[in-house]
Amino acid sequence: MDEQRFIAYYRVSTDRQGRSGLGLEAQREAVGQFLAGKTATVTAEYVEIESGGKSDRPKLAEALEACERHKATLLIAKLDRLARSVAFISALMEARTNFLAVDMPHASRLVLHVMAAFAEHERDMIRERTKAALAAAKARGVRLGTNGVFLAQQNKAHAAKYAEGLREAFKAASEAGARTTQQIANYLNARGIPSREGGRWHPANVARVLSRLRA
Protein backbone atom coordinates (compact mmCIF):
# COMPACT_ATOMS: atom_id res chain seq x y z
CA MET A 1 0.00 0.00 0.00
CA ASP A 2 1.35 3.44 -0.95
CA GLU A 3 2.22 5.72 1.93
CA GLN A 4 -0.08 8.71 2.22
CA ARG A 5 1.65 12.06 2.66
CA PHE A 6 0.34 14.85 4.85
CA ILE A 7 1.31 18.44 5.53
CA ALA A 8 0.29 19.32 9.10
CA TYR A 9 -1.05 22.79 9.84
CA TYR A 10 -1.47 24.03 13.41
CA ARG A 11 -2.87 27.35 14.55
CA VAL A 12 -2.74 29.10 17.91
CA SER A 13 -4.47 32.40 18.56
CA THR A 14 -1.81 34.29 20.51
CA ASP A 15 1.94 34.66 20.64
CA ARG A 16 1.83 33.53 24.27
CA GLN A 17 0.18 30.27 23.24
CA GLY A 18 2.78 29.84 20.52
CA ARG A 19 5.67 30.18 22.98
CA SER A 20 4.13 28.04 25.71
CA GLY A 21 2.81 25.28 23.48
CA LEU A 22 -0.67 25.77 24.98
CA GLY A 23 -3.14 24.39 22.47
CA LEU A 24 -0.37 23.43 20.05
CA GLU A 25 0.57 20.21 21.83
CA ALA A 26 -3.09 19.17 21.99
CA GLN A 27 -3.34 19.61 18.23
CA ARG A 28 -0.17 17.62 17.64
CA GLU A 29 -1.45 14.86 19.92
CA ALA A 30 -4.77 14.68 18.04
CA VAL A 31 -2.92 14.40 14.73
CA GLY A 32 -0.57 11.77 16.16
CA GLN A 33 -3.44 9.65 17.44
CA PHE A 34 -5.21 9.90 14.10
CA LEU A 35 -2.12 8.72 12.19
CA ALA A 36 -1.25 5.92 14.64
CA GLY A 37 -1.29 2.59 12.84
CA LYS A 38 -1.76 4.17 9.42
CA THR A 39 0.63 3.94 6.48
CA ALA A 40 1.20 7.68 6.41
CA THR A 41 3.83 10.28 7.08
CA VAL A 42 3.86 13.98 7.92
CA THR A 43 6.17 15.52 5.34
CA ALA A 44 6.24 18.95 7.02
CA GLU A 45 4.37 21.00 9.57
CA TYR A 46 3.51 24.68 9.75
CA VAL A 47 2.50 26.65 12.85
CA GLU A 48 0.44 29.83 12.49
CA ILE A 49 0.04 32.37 15.28
CA GLU A 50 -3.05 34.23 14.19
CA SER A 51 -6.64 35.10 14.97
CA GLY A 52 -9.25 32.66 13.69
CA GLY A 53 -11.28 35.48 12.20
CA LYS A 54 -8.53 36.60 9.79
CA SER A 55 -7.86 35.09 6.38
CA ASP A 56 -4.34 36.47 5.93
CA ARG A 57 -2.36 33.37 6.87
CA PRO A 58 1.20 33.30 5.49
CA LYS A 59 1.99 29.94 7.09
CA LEU A 60 -1.20 28.41 5.71
CA ALA A 61 -0.25 29.71 2.27
CA GLU A 62 3.13 28.00 2.66
CA ALA A 63 1.43 24.79 3.80
CA LEU A 64 -0.89 24.79 0.78
CA GLU A 65 2.05 25.37 -1.54
CA ALA A 66 3.87 22.45 0.12
CA CYS A 67 0.81 20.25 -0.39
CA GLU A 68 0.90 20.98 -4.10
CA ARG A 69 4.64 20.46 -4.30
CA HIS A 70 4.63 17.14 -2.44
CA LYS A 71 1.20 16.00 -3.70
CA ALA A 72 0.15 15.79 -0.07
CA THR A 73 -3.05 16.35 1.91
CA LEU A 74 -3.37 19.24 4.35
CA LEU A 75 -4.01 17.79 7.82
CA ILE A 76 -5.51 19.77 10.70
CA ALA A 77 -6.64 18.76 14.18
CA LYS A 78 -9.94 20.66 14.11
CA LEU A 79 -11.96 22.39 11.44
CA ASP A 80 -11.94 25.67 13.41
CA ARG A 81 -8.14 25.64 13.27
CA LEU A 82 -8.58 26.75 9.64
CA ALA A 83 -11.20 29.43 10.12
CA ARG A 84 -14.69 30.21 11.29
CA SER A 85 -15.32 31.93 7.97
CA VAL A 86 -17.40 30.22 5.31
CA ALA A 87 -15.77 32.46 2.67
CA PHE A 88 -12.32 31.24 3.72
CA ILE A 89 -13.37 27.57 3.58
CA SER A 90 -14.93 28.17 0.16
CA ALA A 91 -11.70 29.70 -1.13
CA LEU A 92 -9.75 26.71 0.17
CA MET A 93 -12.13 24.34 -1.61
CA GLU A 94 -11.77 26.26 -4.86
CA ALA A 95 -8.00 25.86 -4.58
CA ARG A 96 -8.56 22.11 -5.11
CA THR A 97 -6.28 21.28 -2.21
CA ASN A 98 -7.19 18.07 -0.43
CA PHE A 99 -7.57 18.62 3.29
CA LEU A 100 -8.67 16.53 6.23
CA ALA A 101 -9.87 17.54 9.68
CA VAL A 102 -9.05 14.96 12.36
CA ASP A 103 -12.28 15.67 14.26
CA MET A 104 -14.32 14.96 11.09
CA PRO A 105 -12.18 12.58 8.98
CA HIS A 106 -15.06 11.23 6.89
CA ALA A 107 -16.82 14.53 6.26
CA SER A 108 -17.40 15.50 2.66
CA ARG A 109 -16.50 18.93 1.33
CA LEU A 110 -20.18 19.87 1.51
CA VAL A 111 -20.36 18.91 5.20
CA LEU A 112 -17.22 20.94 5.93
CA HIS A 113 -18.74 23.93 4.15
CA VAL A 114 -22.00 23.60 6.11
CA MET A 115 -20.17 23.22 9.44
CA ALA A 116 -18.11 26.32 8.70
CA ALA A 117 -21.32 28.21 7.94
CA PHE A 118 -22.83 27.10 11.25
CA ALA A 119 -19.68 28.14 13.13
CA GLU A 120 -19.75 31.55 11.46
CA HIS A 121 -23.46 31.90 12.25
CA GLU A 122 -22.86 31.03 15.91
CA ARG A 123 -20.10 33.64 16.12
CA ASP A 124 -22.46 36.26 14.67
CA MET A 125 -25.25 35.24 17.09
CA ILE A 126 -22.90 35.55 20.10
CA ARG A 127 -21.86 38.99 18.88
CA GLU A 128 -25.50 40.09 18.55
CA ARG A 129 -26.49 38.70 21.97
CA THR A 130 -23.52 40.46 23.55
CA LYS A 131 -24.44 43.77 21.89
CA ALA A 132 -28.05 43.40 23.09
CA ALA A 133 -26.89 42.63 26.66
CA LEU A 134 -24.57 45.64 26.63
CA ALA A 135 -27.33 47.91 25.34
CA ALA A 136 -29.71 46.67 28.05
CA ALA A 137 -27.05 47.20 30.73
CA LYS A 138 -26.35 50.70 29.45
CA ALA A 139 -30.07 51.49 29.51
CA ARG A 140 -30.14 50.47 33.19
CA GLY A 141 -27.37 52.96 33.88
CA VAL A 142 -24.59 50.39 34.21
CA ARG A 143 -21.16 51.79 33.35
CA LEU A 144 -19.63 49.68 30.62
CA GLY A 145 -15.97 48.79 30.14
CA THR A 146 -14.88 45.75 32.10
CA ASN A 147 -18.61 44.96 32.35
CA GLY A 148 -18.71 44.44 28.58
CA VAL A 149 -15.93 41.91 28.72
CA PHE A 150 -17.61 40.16 31.63
CA LEU A 151 -20.95 39.88 29.80
CA ALA A 152 -19.27 38.47 26.70
CA GLN A 153 -17.39 35.89 28.77
CA GLN A 154 -20.54 35.02 30.71
CA ASN A 155 -22.53 34.45 27.52
CA LYS A 156 -19.81 32.19 26.12
CA ALA A 157 -19.52 30.28 29.40
CA HIS A 158 -23.27 29.62 29.52
CA ALA A 159 -23.22 28.21 25.98
CA ALA A 160 -20.23 25.98 26.80
CA LYS A 161 -21.87 24.71 30.02
CA TYR A 162 -25.09 23.91 28.18
CA ALA A 163 -23.22 21.96 25.50
CA GLU A 164 -21.23 20.03 28.11
CA GLY A 165 -24.49 18.95 29.75
CA LEU A 166 -25.48 17.28 26.47
CA ARG A 167 -22.19 15.45 25.92
CA GLU A 168 -23.50 12.07 27.08
CA ALA A 169 -26.69 12.39 25.00
CA PHE A 170 -24.65 13.21 21.89
CA LYS A 171 -22.29 10.33 22.65
CA ALA A 172 -25.27 7.97 22.96
CA ALA A 173 -26.60 9.24 19.63
CA SER A 174 -23.26 8.49 17.99
CA GLU A 175 -23.13 5.02 19.53
CA ALA A 176 -26.65 4.43 18.21
CA GLY A 177 -25.41 5.12 14.69
CA ALA A 178 -26.35 8.80 14.29
CA ARG A 179 -23.72 10.39 12.06
CA THR A 180 -25.27 13.45 10.46
CA THR A 181 -26.69 16.47 12.26
CA GLN A 182 -30.18 15.47 11.07
CA GLN A 183 -29.79 11.95 12.49
CA ILE A 184 -28.62 13.36 15.82
CA ALA A 185 -31.58 15.76 15.86
CA ASN A 186 -33.95 12.85 15.19
CA TYR A 187 -32.37 10.84 18.02
CA LEU A 188 -32.71 13.69 20.54
CA ASN A 189 -36.28 14.50 19.49
CA ALA A 190 -37.33 10.84 19.72
CA ARG A 191 -36.17 10.78 23.33
CA GLY A 192 -37.88 14.01 24.28
CA ILE A 193 -34.69 15.93 24.96
CA PRO A 194 -35.48 19.64 24.48
CA SER A 195 -33.18 22.10 22.75
CA ARG A 196 -31.73 25.11 24.54
CA GLU A 197 -34.79 27.12 23.49
CA GLY A 198 -37.08 24.40 24.85
CA GLY A 199 -38.21 23.23 21.41
CA ARG A 200 -37.21 20.60 18.90
CA TRP A 201 -33.78 19.86 17.55
CA HIS A 202 -32.75 20.73 14.00
CA PRO A 203 -29.42 20.35 12.13
CA ALA A 204 -28.55 23.99 12.90
CA ASN A 205 -28.78 23.81 16.70
CA VAL A 206 -27.19 20.34 16.71
CA ALA A 207 -24.23 21.77 14.78
CA ARG A 208 -23.85 24.61 17.27
CA VAL A 209 -23.62 22.17 20.18
CA LEU A 210 -21.17 19.96 18.26
CA SER A 211 -19.02 23.02 17.66
CA ARG A 212 -18.98 23.74 21.41
CA LEU A 213 -18.16 20.14 22.34
CA ARG A 214 -15.24 20.12 19.91
CA ALA A 215 -13.86 23.47 21.05
Q: Could you give all domains of the chain from N- to C-terminal order, each with its CATH number? A: 4-105 (3.40.50.1390), 110-214 (no CATH)
Instruction: Report whether 70 contacts 5 (CB < 8 A).
Output: yes
Instruction: Report whether 89 contacts 112 (CB < 8 A).
Output: yes
Predicted local distance difference test score (pLDDT) of residue 119 = 67
Predicted local distance difference test score (pLDDT) of residue 7 = 94
- Other C-beta atoms within 10 Å of 142: how many? 13
The type of residue at 183 is Q
Confidence of residue 22 (pLDDT cuts 50, 70, 90): very low
Whether the per-residue pLDDT at 213 is higher than 70: the answer is: yes
Instruction: Report whether 206 contacts 185 (CB < 8 A).
Output: yes
Confidence of residue 109 (pLDDT cuts 50, 70, 90): low
Confidence of residue 20 (pLDDT cuts 50, 70, 90): very low
- Per residue in 47-61, pLDDT (tens digit) is 888 654 555 678 888
- Per residue in 160-187, pLDDT (tens digit) is 787 888 888 888 888 889 888 889 999 9
Whether the per-residue pLDDT at 39 is higher than 80: the answer is: yes
Mean pLDDT score of the chain: 77
How many Å separate Cα 95 from the centre of its chain?
21
- CB contact burial 30-55 (16+ within 10 A = b; e otherwise): bbeebbeeeebeebbbbbbbbebeee
Alpha helices in 95-180 (DSSP H): 109-139, 146-165, 167-175
Q: Distance (Å, rounded) from C-alpha 92 to C-alpha 116? A: 12
Looking at residue 135, what DSSP letter applies? H
Helix (H, G, I), strand (E, B) or coil at 8: strand
Residues acting as catalytic residues: 13
Helix (H, G, I), strand (E, B) or coil at 204: helix
How many Å separate Cα 140 from the centre of its chain?
36
Q: Distance (Å, rounded) from C-alpha 122 to C-alpha 206? A: 12
- Per residue in 81-108, pLDDT (tens digit) is 555 556 566 666 676 788 888 887 776 6
Confidence of residue 112 (pLDDT cuts 50, 70, 90): low
Helix (H, G, I), strand (E, B) or coil at 195: coil
- CB contact set of 150 (below 8 Å; sequence gap of 6+): none
Instruction: Report whether 63 contacts 74 (CB < 8 A).
Output: yes
The region, left, alpha or beta by phi > 0 then psi within -120 to 50, assigned to residue 74 is beta
Q: What is the mean pLDDT of residues 59-88?
A: 79
Instruction: Report whether 181 contacts 210 (CB < 8 A).
Output: yes
- The more confidently predicted of residues 161 and 35 is 35
